[in-house]
Amino acid sequence: DIQMTQSPSSLSASVGDRVTITCQASQDITNYLNWYQQKPGKAPKLLISDASNLETGVPSRFSGSGSGTDFTFTISSLQPEDIATYYCQQYDNLPLTFGAGTKVEIK
Amino acid sequence: QVQLQESGPGLVKPSQTLSLTCTVSGGSISSGDYYWSWIRQSPGKGLEWIGYIYYSGSTYYNPSLKSRVSISVDTSKNQFSLKLSSVTAADTAVYYCARIAAVGPSVMDVWGKGTTVTVSS
C-alpha cells in the first residue's frame, strides 16, 4: 500500500492567515492526488483533484500543488467557514489510501 | 443531482456480520461511469477505504479487510451493499458510501451522509 504522510496533524491560525498543509507519498504517485475537506459530523467534500485542479464551486482561496511524492495544499486567506479536517488521498495504486488528516482551527 | 443514502443496523454484536445498503437516487448505478465504494471512519480516526464494485459486479477489496468483506450490487433497485463478517469493536465506525469516477481522476465526488455502526454486545 502507498502510505500518505500528512503534516501537521493540527494547526491553529488567525482569520486571514495563509495556511499550508503538506502530504508526502511513500512512492511516486505522479499527480494522482486529491484533497478533501471534512467538517464535523459531515461527509468529506472533494476540493481538489489531480493535485491542483480546483473542483467547480470551490473558492479560489484553496489551491494545491506538487507532483511525485511531495504535495502542498494551501488556503490563501483562512476564513471561519474553513474550520475542518483536510485529507489527502492517492489514486495511483489500489487500495486507495488517505493521509491521517490535518485539523484546522481558528486562533 | 445524484444522492447516496446509507441504511442498516446501527448496532451489531461481536462476531456477527455487519450489513449496510447504499441507495443511489438521481442517477443510474448502471451508467458505467462510476465505481461504487465504501469507506469507513473509526471514532476520532481517519478515513479507511474498504473497496468498490462496478455495475457489472466486478469488485476490489482493500487487502486489510479482504477476508471479511463482500460488496454486491442490485441494479434493479439502484443499490449496492456491504457485508463485513466476524466484526469486533475495532469495526465500530461511521460507514460512508461514495461514488468514484471510472474515467479520468479517481475522485470520490458524491458521498452519502454516513451511518454509525457500533459493535457491542
Q: Flag whether residue B105 sits within 8 Å of chain A, measured between CB atoms.
A: yes
Nearest to A79 by CA among A55, A62, A103: A62
Residues A72, A7: contact at Cβ < 8 Å?
Answer: no
E strand spans, A19-81 = 19-25, 33-38, 45-49, 53-54, 62-67, 70-75
Q: Which residue of A has its CA nearest to B6?
A: A43
Contacts of A81 by beta carbon, 8 Å cutoff, 6+ apart:
none
Contacts of B16 by beta carbon, 8 Å cutoff, 6+ apart:
B87
pLDDT in tens, B51-90: 999 999 999 999 999 999 999 999 999 999 999 999 999 9
The mean per-residue pLDDT over the stretch B103-112 comes to 92
Say if the Cβ atoms of A34 and B48 lie within 8 Å. no
Q: What is the pLDDT of residue B45?
A: 77
pLDDT band (50, 70, 90) for residue B44:
confident
* Residues in A 24-63 with any Cβ partner in B closer than 8 A: 32, 34, 36, 42-46, 49-50, 53, 55
Residues B43, B90: contact at Cβ < 8 Å?
Answer: no
C-alpha cell at A50: 489531480
Query: How do A4-7 and B115-119 pair as beta strands?
Result: unpaired
Cα distances from B3 to residues A9, B26, B29, B111, B119, in angstroms, run 31, 6, 11, 8, 27
Query: How do A102-106 and A10-13 pair as beta strands?
Result: parallel
Q: Flag whether residue B112 sits within 8 Å of chain A, measured between CB atoms.
A: yes
Which residues in chain A are contacts of B111 at CB distance < 8 A?
43-45
Does the pLDDT of residue B43 top 90, yes or no?
Answer: no
Say if the Cβ atoms of A34 and B64 lie within 8 Å. no
Of chain A, the percentage scoring pLDDT greater than 70 comes to: 100
Say if the Cβ atoms of B105 and A99 lie within 8 Å. no
Cβ-based burial of B41 (10 A; exposed 0-12, middle 13-18, buried ≥19): buried
Give the one of B48, B100, B113 whose C-beta lies nearest to A43's C-beta: B113
C-alpha cell at A8: 501537521
Q: What is the pLDDT of residue B103?
A: 87
Cα-based torsion angle of the residue sequence A18, B109, A54, A74 in order, rounded to the nearest 10 degrees? 20
Residue B5's Cα: distance from chain center in Å?
10
Nearest to B115 by CA among B16, B28, B37, B40: B40
Which residues in chain B are contacts of A55 at CB distance < 8 A?
109
- Give the residue ranges of DSSP H helices in A1-107: none
**Mutate: best of B4, B106, B116, partner A, most A CBs <10 A:** B106
Does the pLDDT of residue B31 top 90, yes or no?
Answer: no
